[in-house]
Structure 1
């Protein structure tokens, strides 16, 4: 199992794909004239406008569901892993992929709004819908829908639940299977209510925990205010291999920064496009801009909060993927014993170092061996606020990761609705509910390495298919942006008319305009 997952992981995340994703994000940034800068104020204003309807949810609820998916274990454990495997420079590459990824998020979410459909009780949309209508290739849309079901129901929920279990076990000593049972019960209660229930839960939980987590990071920054310039300089210098100790891992910094950045902010993955389609708006570009803002919130705020908390401790690791061991960092320097770097593999290691007073051999006192990135973040917070780090991060991670699993279910349900109709759809939805509950429980009891590897496979599968699609059918999203900007200049509240703009296949909007 591990060998198969490893092979697929290497295939999906080869160097050409890592750099390709960056180039595609840059391309969308250029073609939209860097909307993520020009419309930054508009992004945040729009998220609080728009009301929910009988079949649609509000812009803020759609944002909350999207953030539920984006803000998860990737922000806590994933950021720690990126630093551990790629050094502090990985943080810079996470920032960069978020900046250019905001344009990608706009394109996919606007396409989802343009090509959404009105079902009996709610709006549905996402990559499968815009691939069929925009490309006219139903077979390709079906492939995405199947890939999304595989990723959302089987491969990716375990990453979130595994991180929850690890953090809770580290903080409170609760057995993993008990945590798995709690997750399964809570998840079942919420997802039975469908998209409205998920939206109502997300709009309360996500803002509260995001603000609490950022506030915690700000407190730690204030306590270490004198170190801020040094940490920022460290991130930038190590990102380009300017420092000798990081010079050999610039490739790892880019790879892990981009991989964990995409895992966290999901730009290009197509997941944020699903809730974007469910929003009640007068123009598709409105929700596209709101979803672009969600990438900023996810990475530039929450991932950065984690990164600063870790780097302020001065204890982190640099893992050269071509080597067998990890160099242990203490107070920002490679620790040495008798002139040689002290190394340990495969765990992330923290502690104090010295020599045995009798034998003279290297000795580690106050040793702590940490395998999960979440526990690494717990240690970092505990350094600043003793006794508070482990429980706070465990609770934050519980809410972040749990809401992500909720978002995964919503995405899976949307793709079931695309593939089936009538009685088959109802049966498919119940199977999806059972599958994600089982996968979430199983994730709590399997190894974290396998959980992350399977999650990366699921992520890579969706990104591959979605990015190819949006590159082919991006034109309507660009036309919609220009139309939105034109109407705003004229002082209007923009409304969308696909027929006037020459956009075909936007049946929902065509029917709405007729009415």
Structure 2
């Protein structure tokens, strides 16, 4: 039965990732880049400024823009940054890293669009705000069925399957480093995680804010040390990445396809651009303009891949570990780091993976929670969801790694397809908001958004009408 399931999932993934998603991600990413006039480069300084502004904003009763950024980064900066990169190199060659860079730069524009839309169509609840693709599909496209489909997919993929991926990597890392029983670790993990998820989104935001920042700085610091001590190898490693990206040094005709597919697949798993996950966190922020959170999330994609994922890639490629047969995933990352700093690195990386993975568990769980709220307000479904999440975390600790990753790829692929269709159809709203933001910035103002600046504000619940609109009974002022 398991072999049959693996074959079915494998065939579906081959179609999604080798054909459909590569076309959709690249074409729509390029379209959004063109429509935003290269926002990824043109507004990079503004992204950093807005992030600093968000970090300074604090409130006991709401989620700050920086905390919303950290919730999304908690999901991004997880095992995908270490394990996923190792798998991409092992299965797709070092050339996969090049395609991850391309997807990150192009996908940053897609992330801006989806996160801006999440802010525009967010709704108010007892905890502040919530929103995401399910909400802008229902309110912006008037297609609740589409929102419900997405809500089910993201709940299954992030809350259920992706969390088993995280716990799977954590348990393998500890088993490799310390010989720890995977079942014992799983029981400890779900006990601690239960305390967090039953505490609500504000507890998740507060923990994510501290954990993500500390972990990212620590890991980048280690990578920086490794890069400095191996700086003379950098030109040759970059050359290897370039040659393998296009299959120049490969005899097999499928080398380019393998590098491209693995680069796209692991890049999306790591930075989540266009997937529809980060907008769920982006919608929770209290901010003066939707574009601010869109810019922050776009910056998150660039940071995740160009800094953190590249750090992992260089650690691996500066070592001889990736030439060793049979090494992949966290085992490859542990072997590579041990080559650079000594045998203690295996245990250190296991602990780091525990903290990285736990931060990702928090972000992934929240994505499911907010979509459970979209499907039903009945608290029993949220309770059932929480129990299922804890069960899958334990399952991931003791299960076979490949099947878990294949299931994650399948659900992720289906999510991306549904979300990309939606943000393409609604992209005019995001770019209208961007035009409003740029106009106010040029006028020397701190941009403030009102829903009447859009040609069609039907379905938007927040963002009260401006004074001008009130005097004209809410009609759009061109």
Partner of 1:417 in structure 2? 373
Question: In structure 2, what is the equivalent of residue 18 of structure 1?
Answer: 22
**Greater CA deviation, 218-227 or 494-503?**
494-503
In structure 1, the residue matched to 2:473 is none
Correspondence for 2:141: 135
Matched ranges for 1:94-493 at <5 A: 94-244=100-250, 248-316=254-322, 329=323, 349=325, 369-370=326-327, 372-421=328-377, 424=378, 426-493=379-446
SS at 2:180 equivalent: coil
CA RMSD of aligned residues (A): 1.6
- 1:204 and 1:53 map into 2 onto residues whose CA distance is 16
Higher helix share: 2
The verdict on how the C-alpha distance between 1:3 and 1:247 changes in structure 2, with shifts beyond 3 A counting, is closer
Q: Give the TM-score, by structure 2 length.
A: 0.93
Instruction: Judging by fraction of residues, say which structure has more strand.
Output: 1
C-alpha separation in 1, matches of 2:443 and 2:112: 22
The TM-score with structure 1 as length reference comes to 0.87
Q: Deviations over 1:143-199 (max 9, x none)?
A: 111111221232221111101111111111101111111210111111111110000
Q: Which runs of 5+ in 2 are unaligned?
A: 471-478
Aligned to 1:509: 463
Q: Does 1:42 align with 2:46?
A: yes
Deviations 1:14-70 (A, max 9, x none): 423223211211111111111010111111121122424465311110111010111
Task: Report the alpha carbon displacement of residue 244 of structure 1 after superposing the two structures with TM.
Answer: 4.1
Following TM superposition, by how much is the alpha carbon of 1:87 offset from its aligned partner in structure 2, in angstroms? 0.8
Hey, what's the Cα distance between the residues in 2 that align with 1:95 and 1:101?
10
Contact 1:115 1:507 in 2 (8 A): yes
Distance in 2, matches of 1:46 and 1:457, equals: 35
Structure 1 pair 246–82 and aligned structure 2 pair: CA distance change class (3 A): farther
Distance 1:506 1:378, change over 3 A: same
Count, aligned residues: 461
Q: Secondary structure at the match of 1:123?
A: strand
Which one has a bigger Cα radius of gyration?
Answer: 1
In structure 2, what is the Cα distance between the partners aligned to 1:127 and 1:247? Answer: 39
* CA positional deviation for 1:375: 1.0
Give the unaligned 5+ runs of structure 1.
317-328, 330-347, 350-368
Alpha-carbon distance in 2 for matches of 1:60, 1:512? 26
Q: Is the 8 A contact 2:450 2:465 kept in 1?
A: no
Question: Which residue in 2 is equivalent to 1:364?
Answer: none
